[in-house]
Structure 1
Amino acid sequence: MASSEQRPVPSRMTLQTMKGKKVGASKGHSLLKKKSDALTVRFRQMLKTIVETKKAMGEEMKTAAFSLAKAEWAAGNFKGQVVESVRRPAITLKVTADNVAGVRLPIFTLQRNESLETVGNLGVASGGQVIMAAKESYFKALEALIRLASLQTAFFTLDEAIKITNRRVNALESVVIPRIEGDISHIITELDEQEREEFIRLKKVQAKKQERAAAAEADELGEAGGEGGAIFEDEDDDVVF
């Protein structure tokens, strides 16, 4: 077998260590499973929100395009004037994060500074009202676009986090915990075998001691009989012990 597949040394200390590892792995598996479930619930909710936001953004973009067409019909082509008058951005993007079960999801927030907007100076002669309507329509469409971008970015981040979490859950469930349980079973089997061997050895040692004690006792009895025996002679000169 390869060195990476060697079993741990069977001992009581190793057994306690492996049992502690099993408890830790089981707790980690439970926590990761709960995390995966929480992320999956949020993932499904976000998917539903993305579908609704796409539909709303389509309607907003259609409304904004129609408003721009009306503004150009009323005030002419004013795109060049808008581009030339822009000095600083009136709309900026702020990025924050939302923590979902330890996963930080990016959130894009639209910030609007109306004092920097230059569209208000246009349409003084004609078309001012429709230009303002087109501006508001495009602002709503931009809000929907940013909201969709935020949801999709968080969606991909959440999807990757769910895949990583599920891989860890499967690794703990299918590889780590069974391997620890196999090591624990191996250690228990080896310790039981050692106990049986020790018991048999002690029995053999005890049997040897008993044999030696019995032999020594027999020798002592033999010696005592030889020293204490009396010799008598009868009338026929026969020797009697």
Structure 2
Amino acid sequence: MATVHVNPTRMELTRLKKKLVTAIRGHKLLKDKRDELMRRFLDLVRENKALREKVEQGIAAANRNFVLARSVMSDEVLNVALMAPKQEVTLEMETQNVMSVEIPKYHYKTRTSDANDIYSYGYAFTSGDLDSAVKSLSDLLPDMLRLAECEKACQLLAAEIEKTRRRVNALEHVMIPEMQDSIRYITMKLDENERSTQIRLMKVKDMMLEQAHHYKEKMQ
């Protein structure tokens, strides 16, 4: 029997049947969306893992080179060498719609196209290890930006997956069963009313036939 109060009328039955068809279709679409979100989420997680390992290895290598450079250079020379950077990076962000989720996309531009502008110092008084450290960090920039994209995308997709999962469960375990119960309840009530009406009509017919029979007997 229905868990909510409904009017057992044919109009209500028609409305609920249409609503049930829409709910079942929406449930299928949401399940498809959830599955596609999960597929993209897992792809991003795998890419994120590979990028994080690569970036961490690159940063560790750059740190080792900085330590080596500092061991052969004085702190003053090292600070002066890195005090005034020659190259400048501009970061721009746009969004990409993925299954109704706005995923950030980062783009960067350098002030000049000369690859040697990452070195803001002369080579006479600096160590080659410092050059390697600066070059390592410069090469890591695209991977670091992509890693930031992946991590933010994973967070947004995870939130959307959870939201979609709750909607799917609400439709599957609450709304659709309640509508099906209501439809069964109304159908049962209408059938019961129809049977009662038929019984009443049969009784009225029997009474009319009985009255007509007695009338004929009196006429005879």
Give the structure-2-normalised TM-score. Answer: 0.85
Name the counterpart of 1:153: 152
| More contact order relative to length (CA 8 Å, sep ≥ 6) | 2
Matches for 1:26-37 after TM superposition, within 5 Å: 26-37=24-35
Show the counterpart of 2:140: 141
Residue-by-residue CA offset, 1:7-53 (whole Å, 9 max, x unaligned): 31112211111110110000000000000100111111111111111
2:45 equivalent among 44, 47, 51: 47
CA contact (8 A) 1:123 1:131 kept: no
Identical positions, percent: 29
Distance 1:119 1:54, change over 3 A: closer
State which drifts further: 194-203 or 151-160.
151-160
Show the counterpart of 1:8. Answer: 6
TM-score (norm 1): 0.78
Assess if the C-alpha contact under 8 Å between 2:106 and 2:145 holds in 1: yes
8 A Cα contact 2:94 2:106, kept in partner = yes
Structure 2: runs of 5+ lacking an equivalent = none
- 1:100 lines up with 2:98 in the alignment: yes
CA distance in 2, matches of 1:54, 1:166: 28
Name whichever of 133-142 and 110-119 sits farther off.
110-119
Q: Distance in 1 between matches of 2:84 and 2:136?
A: 20
CA distance in structure 2 between the partners assigned to 1:74 and 1:143 by the alignment = 30
Q: What is the alpha-carbon root mean square deviation over aligned residues?
A: 2.7
Question: What is the aligned partner in structure 2 of residue 187 from structure 1?
Answer: 186
SS at match of 1:85: coil
| Larger-gyration structure (1/2) | 1
Equivalent residue in structure 2 for 1:21, among 15, 19, 22: 19
Shift of the 82–99 alpha-carbon distance from structure 1 to 2, 3 Å rule, reads farther
* Cα 1:121–1:170 shift into 2, 3 Å: closer
Which stretches in structure 1 are left out of the alignment for 5+ residues? 222-241
Give CA deviations for 1:142-186 in whole Å, capped at 9, x if unaligned.
333332222111111111111111111111000010000001101
Task: Tell me how far apart the structure 2 counterparts of residues 35 and 164 of structure 1 sit (CA, whole Å).
Answer: 11
Deviation at 1:209, TM superposition (A): 1.0
